[in-house]
Structure formats: structure tokens, C-alpha cells
Amino acid sequence: MIWLVAFAFVLTFVIGTPIAFVLGFTGLVSIWAMGVPLQVIAQRMFTGIDSFPLMAVPFFVLAGELMNRGGTTQRIIDFAESLVGHIKGGLAHSNIIASVIFAGISGSAIADASALGSILIPSMKEKGYDLDFSAAVTAASATIGPIIPPSIIMVIYGVSVGASIGGLFAAGFIPGLMLAAAMMVVVMHEARYRHYPPVRPFSPGGVLRELKKAIWAIISPAIILGGILLGVFTPTEAASVAVVYSFLVGKFVYRELKLSDLPQVLLSSGITTAALLVIISTANVFAWAIAANMIPQRVAQVFLSISTNKYVFLAVVNAFLLMVGMFMETGAAIIILAPILAPVAAQLGVHPLHFGFMMVLNLAIGMATPPVGVCLFVTCSISGLPLEKISRAIWKFVLSEVAVLLLVSYVEFIPLFLPRLLGFIR
């Protein structure tokens, strides 16, 4: 039975079938071979998305679309430039700082890469930056999107294993800033080597002017995170608040969001959400099938046979997840692997929030690595460059992210400091 499931999965994956159908077909084959009524497929698909916390996903997607259409993106970029534009390679530094701010709004690496890349990549090219470097820094910095809360994939992880979503959000804040700092070190080195100039002189007055323009955008993450971390509302309610806030700011404050824009915004958000929910629903069928075949227990035995030392386990899991992230869609990888690996980690003494964050960070890095890193494809589309060229330019950024990954994997104080401070860990 296990070999049949594995064969169905590998066959459909190798021939290029979309991941949602890979998972659904593999689950179908397994259920048919077990002699279980096929009605189970419909039941598990519905059960997989019948979740109140999961409702946060479409709302966060919609909030990001409203913010982008409402003029938020350009104001965030201008504010970031006023802060770091005076440094050599200032436009690349601004790209990273803008990603940090935008991450607190969208929770999505794809939204980050698309919104910021469409403005910054042409601008960086115009200022004399190499096009491959411009695309690479955009793709790499976009992976901060799922790390600094709110985060769509953290919501999916929390739903998959029953972990505290608020706790995961808190765990991501400090490492997200560390990722930005690590990438800025890479930019500083590249700026000296490639002679990238500053983009504007530093001026306290200029910073205040841009802050005044961007303040409504910057307040958004504070409202979302403050409400969640202080217990005012749940992540799902926070996402709903973010939608209302984004609409009001875009329509009545910045006045760039028109009512005629709403059908396109809703359509775009609906397509993104539908794609995610189809993957989640078929992944639930697959997860049920592998659980029925006792595959999680067998995988756990394999990991425990390698070593019962939690530090060795973390090293093996890091290597495994980095490889998975290179080939598999992030949400599907979490739904499939989290219920398998999280119990093993807990058995070895790894805190659930620590392991959950580590898994999210691993797979977020995979969004910027070939051959199927989605952020790479977004920047390829914007820049017009082939995947191979951007992949060669991004490896230094990926190495800096892996360095941060190793640090937060083995120094659990870093990701768990805020969750413990805010009461998510007793």
C-alpha cells in the first residue's frame, strides 16, 4: 500500500501535475486501494477548509490587495528610502526595509514580491543597478513576508497542528528583523563591489515628511499585531479588521482606491484564495490517507533511528525541509509534513512554537530557491530575465537566510523570547 501511494505521488509530481491535483489523486488512489467509500474524499476536502482560524487567509489576502491598490506601496518605499537611501546601495537597502514594513500588512511573500518588485525593479535598473541583482534582492527580501507577522503560512501551520497562531506570530518578529539585517549586510558588500550609489541624502526632516505620508500604512501592522498579541481579537478577527482599515485608508485617506477598483480587487483576491483553499482541501485528503496507512509513525521511527538527540534531529529536519521547499508549494508542504514532524519534535523536547516557526522559516526560504521558488518566478516575470540568471544572483542572500535559520534553530531563546514575554508560553 505504501509503495502504491508513493508511486502515485512521484508519478504525478514528476510529470508536472499541479500540486493540488497531485495530492488529490494520490489520496484517491490510496482510498480506492484501501476499499474505503469514495465519499470520504468529499468529506475530507470539506473538513480541511471548515475552520474558523483558516478564514483569516482570505481576509489577509484581501487586505493586502486593498493596501496595494490604495497607494500604500509607493508610500512605504518612499519612507524606506528616507531611512536608508543615504547608504551605498541605498535603493537595495530600501527594498529590504520596505519588505519588512509590507510584511506586516500582507503576510505573503508573493504579494510582497509582486507589489514591491513592480515598482523597485524598474527603478533600480534606471539608477544603474544590475537587473539580475535587482530581481534577486526583491525575491530574497520578499521571503520576510511570511516571517514577520501576520503570516498566511503561520495560520496554515497553526490550523494543521493546533498550535497557537498568536504565539507563532510573536515568534516571527525578531527573526524577521534578523533576516533583514543579514540581507542588508550582503547588500553592503555587493554595493562596494559593484559601486552602487546612495539614492538620496539623509535628512531628519525628510524622514518626518515621508513618515507623515506613510503613517497610515505603518499603523496597520501595529493594529493587527497589537490586537492579536494583546488578546483584543483573534487572528481571524484581526484579518477582518485589516480589510476594513485598508479600505478606509485607501478610499478616504489616500483617496487612490476607487469603488470601480473593487471588482478587480475582489476577483484577484478570490483567485489567490481559491488556489490556496483547493491545495489545503486536497492536502487534507492526502493527510488522511497517509495517516490511515500509519506513514507518520513510520517516518517518526526513521528520524528517531538516526538519532534521539534533538540537535541532530533539528539539523536533519533543516536539511530535509530546505530540500522540500525547493520543490513543493509551501502551504501543501506544511499540511503534509507538519502533522508528521511536529510530534517527533515534541517527543525530543523541542518546543512546539520553536519547531513551528523553524518549519515556516525553512519553507519560506524555499520560495526564493530554484527550481520552483515562487518569488523567483514573480521577479522573472517583472524583470524579463530567465530563472537561471536570477538564481545565480540570489545565492548570497539565500546563504544569509540559512545562517539566520541555523541561529534560531539552535538558540531557541531568540524565537521564543516574545511568545514567552507575551504569555503564550507559561
Question: What is the model's pLDDT at position 1?
Answer: 61
Q: pTM value?
A: 0.85
Distance CA(84)–CA(200), nearest Å, equals 9
The verdict on whether omega for the bond into residue 201 sits within 30 degrees of 0, i.e. cis, is no
Residue 20 domain-assigned?
Answer: no
HSE toward the beta carbon, residue 365, CA cutoff 13 A: 29
Residues in CB range of 118: below 8 A, 6 or more apart: 382
Question: What is the model's pLDDT at position 290?
Answer: 74
CB contact at 8 A, 112 and 368 = no
Closest CA to 143 of 184, 188, 96: 96
Instruction: Please give the grid coordinates belonging to residue 311.
Output: 540537535
Ramachandran category for residue 275: left, alpha or beta (phi over 0 → left; psi -120 to 50 → alpha): alpha
Residue 361 domain-assigned?
Answer: yes
Supply the Cα-derived Rg of the chain in whole angstroms: 21
Ramachandran category for residue 173: left, alpha or beta (phi over 0 → left; psi -120 to 50 → alpha): alpha
Residue 77 domain-assigned?
Answer: yes
Q: How many CB atoms lie within 10 A of CB 278?
A: 18
Instruction: Name the maximum alpha-carbon separation found in the chain.
Output: 72
200 φ, ψ (degrees, to nearest 5): -165, 150
Distance CA(99)–CA(76), nearest Å, equals 9
Residue 14 domain-assigned?
Answer: no
Residue 373 domain-assigned?
Answer: yes
263 φ, ψ (degrees, to nearest 5): -55, -45
Residue with the three cell numbers 531628519:
204
Counted domains in the chain: 1
Residue 136 domain-assigned?
Answer: yes
Residue 1 domain-assigned?
Answer: no
Mean pLDDT by 10 residues, the chain (426 residues): 72 76 83 83 83 81 82 87 92 94 83 86 91 95 92 90 91 95 95 88 90 87 79 83 88 89 89 81 80 73 83 92 83 84 91 96 91 82 88 94 96 94 85
Domain that holds residue 139: 52-421
Residue 260 domain-assigned?
Answer: yes
Distance CA(358)–CA(236), nearest Å, equals 23
Question: What is the model's pLDDT at position 2?
Answer: 67
